[in-house]
Structure 1
């Protein structure tokens, strides 16, 4: 159906307008009018590049609205994008997105989950977290737990910072603008003031700084990048507000993707189809998508949902003709991180030695990696564990730990040999628990988004060189009379930027753009 050689003639904008005029002049019935619209929808060939959440949501929306000649091309053998659930140990682990915020929007993941029949969903329950500051040589460690009241107070203060505390006042007054150069500068400047005003004892101030540093790493772990690279606009335009009780799927979040693929047959959703060329504008008005296996697919509309990392590396050669300069600049300006997730499985129940989630505190002079030595092997071996944010037991497991990493070294940590990572982590865990009998894991599972050729990174963010305007430029459709080349994905959505909700809503947004294009050519 989609082979270029068998391409069927479709209505373009001029033809539709001419037909509309002719029908009105000859007094054709409203029934014939609707018949022509439905015929145009059925015949419109739409190719969606990428079988992630944005692409699948676009396809589902188009099919529901009568566009039956819709095709999704996925480069890998697995659809779902950065929703990637793996069976590991006695549970399912999420290498990508994990939590779903409760959201009343019709385009949200929550609505998709809520309508999925037979899918077990649970609310995340609060888990006790202990901040631990250890001292000693590892043989006679002493564990120092931070008072709960102090942690709660600092957590409240930090949430204010994440909401852009006093940023707008700073801009209006023009004072201390240096602290707004990037998110880390802002966090550091404002936290210093809060610590000075809230804690009077030098010992308390030192611990408070370490807690703040841990929370900075927590923020960083979500984006997968050093906060020195993040524009302060990321905080003010798309604040990271974590739900108190988000939803998770014990049997794997990728179950929710099945609801999007249920009505797609094997011809409409094709995996193992990496795209090598997108011809989106030709003199003969013949668009097509070419795959690396030599197959060609003609298209009247192309929705590109490629990850930002792939666009950064290949946009210069992938699109024919080349994308407009403004769009290329937006791709260059926006940042993308590489969140690292590590899961460890133990033979015996971990509750024997782990009673609560742990957050290790590190001496401040070694808390942040130095860019000058970040890539050196010796420094990496010594300090990657200092970037660990939290060690936690998965809620649906008795045998699996999740390790979240923030602050830096994401790409390097992803490449660390398994044996080195396990050795360094076990040493840290024994130190935190003051227990030299903590066993080594029997297996490990970890993410590899940065080294995956079909992703080349993870979540997008506002870099210091980018702004909301770049998101709008990336999302803008291309084409003269019709939206020929459209863009979707979490990097194209201002509301929900960098999230699964943003990815899903962006796919529906571009599908609706095509639907509106056909509907606007017909009137009652």
Structure 2
């Protein structure tokens, strides 16, 4: 059955979620779809750029996480957007170079032993094989407990390598620390089968955005239209439509249904003033309890490559890194002291596909947000100083520095979500995702192919 004619749907946000929702509705036969985007570009946390020439740099989304059942992978495959490997390309087996503070390179067999243990422990959390005692424990606490029971903990280097592993895991969790992340709730993350890889072709993630845009009628997406308020319980007998969406500049849209796809970080900052009437308590509680953190990238372009051909990345192993339990506890007591050593949260500097002279550093959490307040030149100087002191190599000044600023972007306030320790992921995520309650019966009856009879 076709959807009822005249039904108006407003989608807030032109990221992948918003564009996918709009595209799905158009294919289902809905004719009155309006997508409101606050910025002057589509994509949201997809931000494909070309600052160093014709080849892409991803400031936002970077990888496809799995293939089986992954709509992004299937769309990229269908549209022939995946990277094509050249059979004539020279293949070099590459590996990460690990350096301890002070300039000593660590043997890879030692590093791989610790990494294998770390992966085994986190896999148990993801596969829900933890005991009940871990139900309120942080991921950092669980990992420390298990590592301390391993013979590997007796080595001088291994605890430092394990700290690096935890620091790297922070980039996956988008958290300031693994001591803020739930151990047990990791099992609620759905891992899709298949490779975790950066496999998109020369168009990058933007090509996926463009594919979704092409599927929409012209002028479906309205840019530079930040939503200031959503009035969602209007009397339909008076207002004809139950929802009114007001944008900056007194522009407004009436709708029967609204789909909200803005980041959780934006809701944390604006939900209290964005909705009239106020959101139901289960939703405000979910917004407050769920975590939303910052992950940033620091790109360094050099005139000439100074690292070996087989080097996939330069990883920094600190004597006392921020994910060391004692260091973390001390930082909790000395609020703000971590700003002086913000750079210790940088995991390392990875090589970048298609850019032989570019390295990318990763940093997370509050340290990433502090970095965003610094000038790019200062950040570049700090990064070069780290590379020189850890490797002992002759590292030139970068020709160009580029860094993402997701934490301070007003329409994002971070990168992606995580589950804090003690939070029930299923309960809070369901509360956040569920449709708004309808105060009064709407004009449209339920019908196959129609949206739920709820305004938002």
User: TM-score interval w.r.t. the shorter chain?
Assistant: 0.7 to 0.9
Aligned with 2:64: secondary structure? coil
Counterpart position of 2:109: 149
Task: Give the aligned partner of residue 303 of structure 2.
Answer: 347
Would you say 1:69 and 2:45 are equivalent positions? no
Q: Distance in 1 between matches of 2:192 and 2:24?
A: 28
Three-state SS of the structure 2 residue aligned to 1:439 is coil
Correspondence 1:111-260 to 2 at 5 A: 111-117=74-80, 120=83, 127-135=94-102, 143-165=103-125, 168=129, 170-171=131-132, 174=133, 177=134, 180-194=136-150, 197-198=151-152, 202=154, 205-225=155-175, 226-238=177-189, 244=195, 246-251=197-202, 252-260=204-212
The structure-2 alpha-carbon separation of the partners of 1:243 and 1:433, relative to structure 1 and needing over 3 Å to count, comes to farther
**Structure 1 residues 220, 520: CA separation in 2 closer, same or farther (over 3 Å shift)?**
closer
Matches within 5 A, 1:348-497: 348-351=304-307, 355-364=311-320, 368=327, 370-373=331-334, 375-376=336-337, 380-381=339-340, 383-406=341-364, 409-435=367-393, 437-468=394-425, 469-480=427-438
- Distance in 2, matches of 1:110 and 1:217, equals 28
d(CA) in 2 for partners of 1:244, 1:215:
20
Q: Distance in 2 between matches of 1:396 and 1:348?
A: 14
| Residues 373 and 261 (structure 1), Cα distance of their counterparts in 2 relative to 1, 3 Å cut | same
1:103–1:110 CA contact under 8 A, matched in 2: yes
**Relative to structure 1, is the Cα distance of residues 310 and 515 closer, same or farther in structure 2, using a 3 angstrom cutoff?**
farther
> So what's the TM-score if we normalise by structure 1?
0.75
Structure 2: give runs of 5+ residues left out of the alignment: none
Give, in whole Å, the separation in 2 of the partners of 1:519 and 1:272.
27
Deviation, structure 1 residue 374: 5.1
Look up the SS of the partner of 1:206 in the other structure. Answer: coil
* Distance verdict in 2 for CA 1:308–1:465, change over 3 Å: farther
The structure whose Rg is larger is 1
Q: 1:402 to 1:516 in 2, by over 3 A?
A: farther
For residues 77 and 342 of structure 1, what CA distance do their matches in structure 2 show? 24
- Equivalent residue for 1:317? 273
> In structure 2, how many angstroms separate the alpha carbons of the residues matched to 1:126 and 1:102?
23
- Aligned-partner Cα distance in 2 for 1:100–1:86: 18
Give the CA deviation at 1:423: 1.7
Which residue does 2:292 correspond to in 1? 336
CA deviations on 1:144-174 (whole Å, 9 max, x unpaired) are: 2222222222222111221235974531xx5
Counterpart residue number, 1:92: 56
CA contact (8 A) 1:214 1:389 kept: yes
Give the aligned partner of residue 104 of structure 1.
68
Separation of aligned partners in 1, 2:437 and 2:321: 53
- Kept in 2: contact 1:88–1:345 (CA 8 A): no
**Residues 465 and 170 of structure 1: is their aligned pair in 2 closer, same or farther, counting only changes over 3 Å?**
closer
In the TM superposition, residue 406 of structure 1 has moved relative to its aligned partner by 4.3
**Within 2, Cα distance between the matches of 1:102 and 1:360?**
28
Once the 2 structures are TM-superposed, how far is the Cα of residue 241 of structure 1 from its aligned partner? 8.4
How far has the Cα of 1:103 moved from its partner? 2.0
Q: More deviation in 70-79 or 150-159?
A: 150-159
* Distance of aligned partners of 1:442 and 1:74 in 2 relative to their CA distance in 1, 3 Å threshold: same
Distance 1:125 1:470 in 2: 46
Q: Is the 8 A contact 2:9 2:256 kept in 1?
A: yes
Structure 2 SS opposite 1:75 = coil
**Where does residue 503 of structure 1 map in the other structure?**
none
Q: Which residue of 2 aligns with 1:56?
A: 19
Unaligned runs of 5+ in 1: 1-33, 136-142, 485-513
Aligned counterparts of 1:163 and 1:467: Cα–Cα separation in 2 = 20
Output the CA distance in 2 between the equivalents of 1:483 and 1:263. 33
Q: Deviations over 1:421-450 (max 9, x none)?
A: 122211110122212x31111111111111
Counting matched residue pairs gives 432
